[in-house]
Amino acid sequence: MIIPMKKAAIITQSKDSSEAIGRLRSLGILHVEHTRAPKGKDINALNDNIALISQAIAILDSTAPSLKVHRLEESYSLDRMTLVRRIIDSSKRIEQLDDYLRNLEIGLGKWDDWGDFDPEKIEALSAKGVYIRLYQIPVGELKNLPEGIAARVISRAGGIASCACVSREKIDMPFRELALPKAGPGRMRERMKEDLRATSAIRDEIKGLIRYRGSLASFKKEMESELEFQEAVAGMGFEGEIAYITGYVPFDKIALLQGSAKIHRWGLSITDPSEDDVPPTLIRNPRWVALISPVLKFLEILPGYKELDISLPFLIFFSMFFGMLIGDAGYGLVYTILTFVIERKMKKRGADTSSMPLFYILGFCAIAWGACTGTFFGQEWVLKTGYKPLIPALTNEKSLQRFCFFLGAAHLSIAHAWRATLKLPSLSALADIGWIMVLWSAFFIANMLILGDPFPLFVKWLMITGIALVVLFTSPQRNILKCVGSGLGTVALSLMNSFTDVVSYVRLFAVGLAGVAIADAFNAMAGLLGASNLFAIAGSALIVLVGHTLGMLLGPVSVLVHGVRLNVLEFSGHANISWSGINYKPLK
């Protein structure tokens, strides 16, 4: 559930403002709402340093990603900003060397056909009256060169000869002359070797510094904490000798704030948030409901303070959708075993395993659905063995599509029923009852249009009643014309969407069926090879392994695309959730 917030204003003397912020930080309950934009030299310096630390950590991770988890991290006892600048400077030096290497490669590509030469010696000969210039001359013009010029053809390509032209006078010919490079090809190769050695040495140095990554991560947190403190101080309001800070506190932490205010002699104002306020969202749920939290964090979505916390229906339906989209008991068993192995390794490393129960639930749902449909690493071979699915109707395409439409209507009806309950005793709750009627009408219409089912006569009256409730009670008011006009606008915009939303749940059938079809196809290919000899057996095993590995990799992707969408878009749209929440982040 979303925890109710109280708006608090803490008042103190200006001279005690920093001390008050420090004491509030030790409480760790006030989500600060700045009275004015926090700014200042200290804040700018902290932001700059945090950006540099983040850059240094990113360099370590990109330069030595495999060492990050294998090498024990050490603390850095010297000035850590000096370490940060050292890492960044080393990275910039690598970039400069890489740029220079690319230029050398381009130069070698241009001059490699000329053989080796020293531009400095060529320039030295000019001072002694021997002029050497490099030209690209059409082959047909070689015999027409002016007298006193000796041309040495170095290479030919496409009717063009690359020539070194030697004379006692300065050469001026109507052909393309190539300016001498700063270094000859031989020197370029030597510089490339030197730069490669230097780059390798710098990279090794950075790899050696990966052991301080943990120290830098801690340093970054310290700087962010200090930044938060400085912003809180700079964001306070001041009126003469009085300073004040405002923010939001969970309702069950107010007594703690009041006790601290008495001890430190602060002025304190506690009020309910107004309609114009934007309180942060703090969600607390029982442990079994909070299992869905990792998914919401991964998606980076949070309901607004005045919206619904759909953690429980999200958990239930997401798990169900996972089972239907994966649709294979064998895959579910593999996911469960992998979860067990990963959990054991994480426990040995002392890592957080609180998200593991969710993966066990998802694996069990896939196993359960596979048992209901008779699918275990494919379906055809299982049914041929005589195995009877727990729910045979789910192997019938029409029955499965009908179940998907039913699931869609039920899922979206829960959203409107929830909204109607919260609106009571307001008459506007009847509009959501009307939408529930519309959704179930859409269910029967989808069965008729897509599956060819007969159309029940009562559905017409169900639809008419539902639309009437939406029109009359979307914005109930005394002026009947405004009331009907508002309702008609809502119906016009959302009536067709309700039908398409119910039909969109057929994706559970389509994607699940595609996964089973792919598994059966690979099983069939493996069966064509047979088991007549060792090579046939090895080939069959390879096809089965590759095919089902592909299926197990693509399955979770389909869940992220379709299973998440049905909860985050379709259901949330009908529950009027915009995911516009601000995360509760207290000063601490």
pLDDT tens digits along 376-405 = 999 988 888 888 899 999 999 999 999 999
Bridge partners for 138 per DSSP: 160
Name the one residue in this structure whose structure tokens are 């066990």: 360
Instruction: For residue 523, give both structure tokens.
Output: 């099983």
**Assigned domain for 243 exists:** yes
Whether 567 and 318 have beta carbons less than 8 Å apart is answered as yes
Burial of 552 (0-12, 13-18, 19+ CB in 10 A): buried
pLDDT for residue 198 is more than 50: yes
Q: Nearest Cα to 491, choosing from 514, 520, 469? A: 469
Shared-domain flag, residues 12 and 102: no
Helices 507-529 & 311-326 angle (0-180, nearest 10): 30
Burial of 576 (0-12, 13-18, 19+ CB in 10 A): middle
**Assigned domain for 579 exists:** no
Shared-domain flag, residues 171 and 132: yes
Determine the pLDDT at residue 172.
Answer: 79
Whether 473 and 431 have beta carbons less than 8 Å apart is answered as yes
Shared-domain flag, residues 263 and 170: no
The CA–CA distances, whole Å, from 328 to 272, 325, 510 equal 51, 9, 14
Shared-domain flag, residues 123 and 137: yes
Shared-domain flag, residues 32 and 42: no
pLDDT for residue 229 is more than 50: yes
Determine the pLDDT at residue 533.
Answer: 81
Shared-domain flag, residues 132 and 93: no
Q: Nearest Cα to 464, choosing from 439, 499, 484, 438? A: 438
| Residue 342 binned pLDDT confidence (cut-offs 50, 70, 90) | very high
Average pLDDT estimate for 319-334: 95
For residue range 402-445, list pLDDT tens digits in order: 999 999 999 999 999 999 999 888 888 998 999 999 999 999 99
Task: Extract the runs of DSSP E, i.e. beta strands, from 326-374.
Answer: none
Domain count for the chain, please give it: 3
Task: Extract the runs of DSSP E, i.e. beta strands, from 264-336.
Answer: 267-271
Whether 349 and 69 have beta carbons less than 8 Å apart is answered as no
The H or E element that residue 167 is part of is strand 160-167
**Assigned domain for 515 exists:** no
CATH assignment of the domain containing 22: 3.30.70.240
**Assigned domain for 242 exists:** yes
pLDDT for residue 577 is more than 70: yes
Determine the pLDDT at residue 401.
Answer: 95
Which range has the worst mean pLDDT, 349-353, 446-450, 553-557? 349-353
Shared-domain flag, residues 48 and 172: no
Chosen domain end from 228, 256, 291? 228
Whether 169 and 137 have beta carbons less than 8 Å apart is answered as no
**Assigned domain for 288 exists:** no
Average pLDDT estimate for 139-156: 85
**Assigned domain for 94 exists:** yes
Shared-domain flag, residues 73 and 219: yes
Instruction: For residue 201, give both structure tokens.
Output: 């040495």
Instruction: For residue 360, give both structure tokens.
Output: 């066990």
Between residues 123 and 260, the one the model is more confident about:
260
For residue range 264-303, list pLDDT tens digits in order: 999 999 999 999 999 999 999 998 999 999 999 989 999 9
Which range has the worst mean pLDDT, 28-37, 176-185, 196-205, 354-363? 176-185
Sign of the Cα torsion 493, 495, 496, 498 reads positive
| Residue 487 binned pLDDT confidence (cut-offs 50, 70, 90) | low
181: which DSSP letter? P
pLDDT > 90 fraction of the chain, expressed in percent and rounded:
61
Q: How many CA atoms lie within 13 A of 211 on its CB side?
A: 9
| Residue 62 binned pLDDT confidence (cut-offs 50, 70, 90) | confident
**Assigned domain for 570 exists:** no
Backbone angles phi and psi of 379, in degrees to 5: -115, -40
**Assigned domain for 203 exists:** yes
Instruction: For residue 67, give both structure tokens.
Output: 């060492």
Shared-domain flag, residues 10 and 126: no
| Residue 69 binned pLDDT confidence (cut-offs 50, 70, 90) | very low
Between residues 484 and 579, the one the model is more confident about:
579
Shared-domain flag, residues 192 and 211: yes
Instruction: For residue 504, give both structure tokens.
Output: 């969109």
Determine the pLDDT at residue 476.
Answer: 64
Domain range spanning residue 157?
117-183
Give dist(CA 162, CA 133) in Å, integer.
Answer: 11
Whether 205 and 163 have beta carbons less than 8 Å apart is answered as no
pLDDT for residue 187 is more than 70: yes
| Residue 31 binned pLDDT confidence (cut-offs 50, 70, 90) | very high
Determine the pLDDT at residue 159.
Answer: 85
Average pLDDT estimate for 353-368: 94
| Residue 497 binned pLDDT confidence (cut-offs 50, 70, 90) | confident
Q: CB neighbours of 298 closer than 8 A, spacing ≥ 6?
A: none
Give dist(CA 313, CA 309) in Å, integer.
Answer: 9
Which range has the worst mean pLDDT, 52-56, 140-144, 416-420? 140-144
Give dist(CA 209, CA 78) in Å, integer.
Answer: 13
Q: Nearest Cα to 462, choosing from 486, 487, 444, 483? A: 444
pLDDT, mean over the chain:
89
Shared-domain flag, residues 42 and 100: yes
| Residue 88 binned pLDDT confidence (cut-offs 50, 70, 90) | very high
For residue range 542-566, list pLDDT tens digits in order: 999 999 999 999 999 999 899 999 9
Q: Coil, strand, or helix at residue 137?
A: strand
Shared-domain flag, residues 63 and 84: yes
Whether 214 and 60 have beta carbons less than 8 Å apart is answered as no
pLDDT for residue 490 is more than 70: no
Whether 395 and 373 have beta carbons less than 8 Å apart is answered as yes
